[in-house]
Amino acid sequence: MEEKGIRICQMLEEMLENQEISQEEERKIRGLFEEREHRRAEIRIAYDLLVMLQKEVRYENNFKSNSLDISGGFGAALYQARMRNGITQQQLAGLTGINQADISRFERGFSNPSLATIKRLADGLGMGLSIDFI
């Protein structure tokens, strides 16, 4: 694109030298050309930003689809395991050293426990912990 711009400027200079156009016309044409190039540069910048945003959205979507959402499934499994063992949240809290309020949040899916916390919960319920990457 720069090469084309250089050729246009050269043509304008030749036309001015040959008196095919006046200096005022040459200034107007240069101004229009520079304005057009400025707009093209803005469009290129906007396009580059759009491509970057597109990549970011794809990354976010890919990250979300590949991330582990354990809140609902884990909470239900924890609740069922606790019910099978016939213990209250308060009793599980006493066995694990985890606050009863935190156990409640885990069961309702409002909070995701760390792996260490999940291990403590499993131990408190007398269960093993197995993680399978499928």
SS3 state of residue 68? coil
Q: Is the pTM of this model over 0.85?
A: no
How much is the pLDDT for 70? 53
How much is the pLDDT for 89? 94
How much is the pLDDT for 33? 81
What is the C-alpha to C-alpha distance for residues 66 and 35, in angstroms, rounded to an integer?
Answer: 46
**Contact call for residues 88 and 103 (beta carbons, < 8 A):** no
How much is the pLDDT for 54? 83
Length of the chain: 134
Would you report the helix, strand and coil content of the chain in percent, each value rounded to 5?
A: 75, 0, 25
How much is the pLDDT for 71? 52
pLDDT beneath 70, residues of the chain: 1-2, 59-72, 134
Round the CA-based radius of gyration of the chain to a whole number and report it: 34
How much is the pLDDT for 61? 66
Q: Record the tokens describing residue 64, joined without a space.
A: 């979300």
First-residue to last-residue Cα distance in the chain: 51
**Contact call for residues 89 and 82 (beta carbons, < 8 A):** yes
How much is the pLDDT for 28? 83
What is the C-alpha to C-alpha distance for residues 69 and 30, in angstroms, rounded to an integer?
Answer: 59
How much is the pLDDT for 74? 85
Half-sphere exposure of 23 (CA within 13 A, CB side): 0
